[in-house]
Amino acid sequence: MANITKKVSWSSRGDDSALTGEGTPLLNGTEIPKPSRQLSGSGSVFRIGRFSTVDLEDDITSEEDPIRGRPKEIPHNEKLLSLKYESLDYDNIENQLFLEEERRMSHMGFRCLEISRWVICGLIGILTGLIACFIDIMVEKLAGYKYQVIKENIEKFTEVGGLSISLILWAVLNCAFVLVGGIMVAFFEPIAAGSGIPQIKCYLNGVKIPRVVRLKTLVVKVFGVICSVAGGLAVGKEGPMIHSGAVVAAGVSQGRSTSLKRDFKMFEYFRRDTEKRDFVSAGAAAGVSAAFGAPVGGVLFSLEEGASFWNQMLTWRIFFASMISTFTLNFFLSIYHGKPGDLSNPGLINFGRFESDSVAYYYYEIPLFMCMGALGGLLGALFNSLNYWLTIFRIRYVHRPCLQVIEALLVAAVTAAVSFTMIYFSNDCQPLGPEHNEEYPLQLFCADGEYNSMATAFFNTPERSVRSLFHNQPGSYNPLTLGLFTLTYFFLACWTYGLAVSAGVFIPSLLIGAAWGRLCGILLASFTPTSPIWADPGKYALIGAAAQLGGIVRMTLSLTVIMVEATGNVTYGLPIMLVLMIAKIVGDYFEEGLYDIHIKLQSVPFLHWEAPATSHWLTAREVMSSPVTCFNRIEKVGTIVDVLSNTSTNHNGFPVVVQVLDSDEPAKLCGLILRSQLIVLLKHKVFVELARSRLSQRKLQLKDFRDAYPRFPPIQSIHVSQDERECMMDLTEFMNPTPYTVPQDTSLPRVFKLFRALGLRHLVVADDVNRVIGLVTRKDLARYHLGKHGLEELQLAQT
Q: What is the distance between the alpha carbons of residues 449 and 427, in angstroms, rounded to a whole number? A: 15
Give the number of other CB atoms < 10 A from CB of residue 417: 15
For its own copies, the closer CB: 88 or 300: 300
Q: Is residue 396 packed enough to be buried (19+ CB in 10 Å), middle (13-18) or exposed (0-12)?
A: middle
For its own copies, the closer CB: 7 or 753: 753
Q: How far is the CB of 549 from its own copies (least distance, A)?
A: 17
Q: What is the distance between the alpha carbons of residues 790 and 595, in angstroms, rounded to a whole number? A: 23
Q: What is the distance between the alpha carbons of residues 213 and 218, in angstroms, rounded to a whole number? A: 8
For its own copies, the closer CB: 148 or 626: 626
Phi, psi of 766 (to 5 degrees): -120, 155
For its own copies, the closer CB: 18 or 758: 758
Q: How far is the CB of 632 from its own copies (least distance, A)?
A: 15
Q: How far is the CB of 764 from its own copies (least distance, A)?
A: 11
Q: Are 124 and 283 in contact (CB under 8 A)?
A: yes
For its own copies, the closer CB: 137 or 658: 658
Each as own residue / partner, the long-range contacts of residues 480-485 (CB below 8 Å, 24 or more positions apart, any chain) are 480/426, 480/428, 481/426, 481/428, 481/453, 481/454, 481/457, 482/515, 482/516, 482/518, 482/519, 482/522, 483/516, 483/519, 484/422, 484/426, 484/454, 485/422, 485/454, 485/457, 485/458, 485/515
Q: How far is the CB of 130 from its own copies (least distance, A)?
A: 16
List, in sequence order, the alpha helices (H) in 82-106: 96-104
- Give SS3 for 787: strand
For its own copies, the closer CB: 345 or 468: 345
Contacts of 361 (CB under 8 A, 6+ apart): 369, 539, 571, 572, 575
For its own copies, the closer CB: 12 or 571: 571
Q: How far is the CB of 547 from its own copies (least distance, A)?
A: 16
Q: What is the distance between the alpha carbons of residues 316 and 488, in angstroms, rounded to a whole number? A: 43
Give the number of other CB atoms < 10 A from CB of residue 75: 15
CA angle 192, 195, 201 (to 5 degrees): 95
Quick one: angle between helices 273-292 and 107-160, nearest 10?
Answer: 40
Q: How far is the CB of 735 from its own copies (least distance, A)?
A: 12
For its own copies, the closer CB: 487 or 581: 581
For its own copies, the closer CB: 369 or 497: 369
Q: How far is the CB of 332 from its own copies (least distance, A)?
A: 11
Work out the end-to-end distance of the chain between its first and last CA atoms, rounded to an integer number of angstroms. 6
Contacts of 363 (CB under 8 A, 6+ apart): none
For its own copies, the closer CB: 15 or 745: 745
Q: What's CA 240's distance to the chain center, in Å?
A: 9
CA angle 478, 433, 167 (to 5 degrees): 60
Q: How far is the CB of 193 from its own copies (least distance, A)?
A: 27
Contacts of 401 (CB under 8 A, 6+ apart): 186, 187, 190, 500
Q: What is the distance between the alpha carbons of residues 389 and 384, in angstroms, rounded to a whole number? A: 9
For its own copies, the closer CB: 487 or 585: 585
Q: How far is the CB of 353 from its own copies (least distance, A)?
A: 6
Phi, psi of 306 (to 5 degrees): -125, -50
For its own copies, the closer CB: 159 or 662: 662
The three state secondary structure string of 23-44 is CCCCCCCCCCCCCCCCCCCCHH
Q: How far is the CB of 598 from its own copies (least distance, A)?
A: 18
For its own copies, the closer CB: 165 or 578: 578
Q: How far is the CB of 577 from its own copies (least distance, A)?
A: 5
Please give the radius of gyration of the chain, using alpha carbons only, rounded to the nearest integer: 29
Q: Are 391 and 559 in contact (CB under 8 A)?
A: no
For its own copies, the closer CB: 412 or 582: 582
For its own copies, the closer CB: 484 or 557: 557
For its own copies, the closer CB: 418 or 791: 791
Q: How far is the CB of 360 from its own copies (least distance, A)?
A: 6
Q: How far is the CB of 557 from its own copies (least distance, A)?
A: 5
List of E strands, 469-592: none
Bridge partners (DSSP) listed for residue 785: 792
Q: How far is the CB of 71 from its own copies (least distance, A)?
A: 37
Single-letter amino acid code for the residue at 310? W
CA angle 415, 416, 418 (to 5 degrees): 65
Give the number of other CB atoms < 10 A from CB of residue 437: 13
Q: What is the distance between the alpha carbons of residues 373 and 545, in angstroms, rounded to a whole number? A: 10
Residue whose C-alpha is closest to residue 120's, from 237, 280, 257, 11: 280
Q: How far is the CB of 599 from its own copies (least distance, A)?
A: 15
Q: How far is the CB of 343 from its own copies (least distance, A)?
A: 6
